[in-house]
Amino acid sequence: MCLLGASGVGKSSLVRRFVEDRFDQAQDPSIAMSIFSGSVELGDVTLEMMLWDPAGTDTGAQYNRSFISGASGLIFVVDATKPQTLDHLLEAQAKERGFIGSRPAILVVNKVDLTGDFALSKAQIDAASKLDWRLIQVSAKTGNNVGQAFTKLAELMLEARKATG
CATH number at 43 reads 3.40.50.300
* Proportion of the chain above pLDDT 90, given as a percent: 36
71-77 average pLDDT score: 89
Minimum mean pLDDT among 2-11, 88-97, 105-114: which range? 88-97
Categorize the per-residue pLDDT at 9 as very low, low, confident or very high, splitting at 50, 70 and 90.
Answer: very high
Categorize the per-residue pLDDT at 156 as very low, low, confident or very high, splitting at 50, 70 and 90.
Answer: very high
Amino acid identity at 14: L
CA 45 to CA 39: how far, in whole Å? 10
pLDDT computed for residue 30 by the predictor: 59
Range of the domain at 46: 2-164
Categorize the per-residue pLDDT at 20 as very low, low, confident or very high, splitting at 50, 70 and 90.
Answer: very high
Residue 128: HSE in the Cβ half-sphere, 13 Å Cα cutoff? 26
Amino acid identity at 161: R
24-45 average pLDDT score: 79
Give me the helix-helix angle, 83-95 and 122-129, nearest 10°: 30
More confident residue, 25 or 85: 85
pLDDT tops 80 at residue 32: no
pLDDT computed for residue 136 by the predictor: 94
68 neighbors 4 (Cβ within 8 angstroms): yes
CA 75 to CA 95: how far, in whole Å? 19
pLDDT computed for residue 63 by the predictor: 60
pTM: 0.87
Say how many domains are in the chain: 1
